[in-house]
Amino acid sequence: MILGHSYLSSLNPEGLGTPLAESVTSYIPRLCKLHSISFSTFLSDILFPKMGTLSLVNSIKRGCSRVYTRPYAFNGVSNFTEKIIHTLELLTLQKNLIYITLLPLRNIISCQNVFRHYRAWCPICLAERKDRALTIYEPLVWTIKAVRSCLVHHISLRTQCHKCGNMLPVIARHVQNGFCSTCGHWLGLTDTNNKYPVDPIPDFDSWKDRNIGELISILPETINITRNETLRTVLTEHINLHYKGSASAYARSAKIPKATISRWQAGTALPSLENLLKISYRSQTPLADLITKGRLQKDAKVFDYQDSESLFPASPRKTNDFDYAYVKRHLESVLKSKSENPLSMTKVAENLGYTKKTLYKHFYVLCRHISAKAACHRKARKEQRLGQERLFVEKVAEQLHIEGVYPSYDAIENAAPKKGIMRSHESRDAWKNKLREFGFENGG
């Protein structure tokens, strides 16, 4: 590596101050590409040593770092994210990298369970940027779980590679924006002239997606907010206007514990993104205004919460230790995948950032099936290759014989596109049969 003690390229983050601001998990792959290193090498040789997190360096080198399963550590609001941004800014001399994370919202929302574990993308956005020779990057808004559609093209974001069928972890050893980290295929539309099937996006989903996009576009305005006074004002106004000032009545209607609402109002707890969306939806105040401006529309209608309840499904439980649900989903998707090249358990474990032993311990049957599927595929591939080699040997032997040249072992080996074709029994048997057929008694 030529980096030595020098800084990294001072790469500008894309889309700052817009709903399509870049994510750190897109910015780092761009840096890596520029310096021709993999994501994992960047983490283990540059970023983590600079951050002084040596335990992570070692775990990445052993190939089983849990960093791979924690994209929120990069794009989120934790001290770890702050450290990453601080270090990246030192390395690149950029000043605005905080806006490619949700860090500016650290005093405003609680970011638990906000991020996807898998990448999501709009194939049209990718294709359009490629066509116009613009930088290919993946916006922060695509990493947020609640966002379902593209803000520009209003189509559902894709979450599976159309070539290999795999879901793609946000962080993997070799991530390149716009490309599948499993099979390397381009994730954008290949022909923008072809009409892309447009699936209707429910109004509520586009409302939610648009609001989250607006929130991302105002990140630079939220940086100095240490306490969300606006939320307090809007909430109080809304409760006064529609619930005669009774926080209990609001809590009952919104199905949010009253104590939780009191803590938000007192500023001792932060609402989740999901809850902020609920408040925004009920008070008809755009999400971004709920943070920076906050004027409640006086004629706002009170939504029937019974109806909107189904729009906000309960979030899945998360455990701190082994991310059981996430790993299970991943293994199931690997098993279901119709990839031409099924992944081995070694590769799956590597992608997930757990050891094979851990995966077998929790999901023995699933792991056995994945392993059997890969083995079966390897066997079929081997048989196919041997068959092709046998045909090749026969063809070359015949050709040489016609030309009056003795089809020797070396002559055939030399005619092959790569070395070692005569090493297999199958090839040698085919060759000996041909020799016998041509009348060379002993077949070699």
**Which is it for the CA torsion 430, 433, 437, 439, positive or negative?**
positive
> In angstroms, what is the minimal distance from the CB of 334 to Zn ion?
12
Distance CA 141, CA 122 (A): 11
> In angstroms, what is the minimal distance from the CB of 188 to Zn ion?
10
Cβ-based nearer residue to Zn ion, 152 or 380: 152
Cβ-based nearer residue to Zn ion, 153 or 395: 153
> In angstroms, what is the minimal distance from the CB of 20 to Zn ion?
9
Say how many CA atoms lie within 13 Å of 230 toward its Cβ: 22
CB atoms within 10 A of CB 443: 14
Cβ-based nearer residue to Zn ion, 185 or 293: 185
Cβ-based nearer residue to Zn ion, 130 or 163: 163
> In angstroms, what is the minimal distance from the CB of 150 to Zn ion?
3
Distance CA 265, CA 279 (A): 13
Residue 105 in tokens: 């919202």
Residue 303 in tokens: 């939504």
> In angstroms, what is the minimal distance from the CB of 239 to Zn ion?
38
Cβ-based nearer residue to Zn ion, 166 or 230: 166
Say how many CA atoms lie within 13 Å of 211 toward its Cβ: 23
> In angstroms, what is the minimal distance from the CB of 70 to Zn ion?
22
> In angstroms, what is the minimal distance from the CB of 19 to Zn ion?
11
Q: How far is CA 19 from the centre of its chain?
A: 19
Residue 379 in tokens: 């066997």
Indicate the length of the chain as a whole number.
444
> In angstroms, what is the minimal distance from the CB of 386 to Zn ion?
27
Cβ-based nearer residue to Zn ion, 185 or 328: 185
> In angstroms, what is the minimal distance from the CB of 116 to Zn ion?
17
Please give, one letter per residue, the 3-state secondary structure of 55-113.
HHHHHHHCCCCHHHHCCHHHHCCCHHHHHHHHHHHHHHCCCCHHHHCCHHHCCCCECCC
* Helix (H), strand (E) counts: the chain: 20, 0
Cβ-based nearer residue to Zn ion, 147 or 349: 147
Cβ-based nearer residue to Zn ion, 135 or 260: 135
Residues in a beta bridge with 115: 144
Cβ-based nearer residue to Zn ion, 146 or 164: 164
**Which is it for the CA torsion 188, 193, 194, 200, positive or negative?**
positive
DSSP state of 208: H
> In angstroms, what is the minimal distance from the CB of 52 to Zn ion?
36
Exposure of 353 by Cβ count < 10 A (0-12 exposed, 13-18 middle, 19+ buried)? buried
- Are 371 and 345 in contact by the 8 Å Cβ rule? The answer is yes
Angle value at C-alpha 57, between 10 and 28, nearest 5 degrees: 25
Cβ-based nearer residue to Zn ion, 175 or 430: 175
Give residues in contact with Zn ion (CB under 5 A).
Answer: 122, 124-125, 150, 152-153, 161, 163-164, 180, 182-183, 185
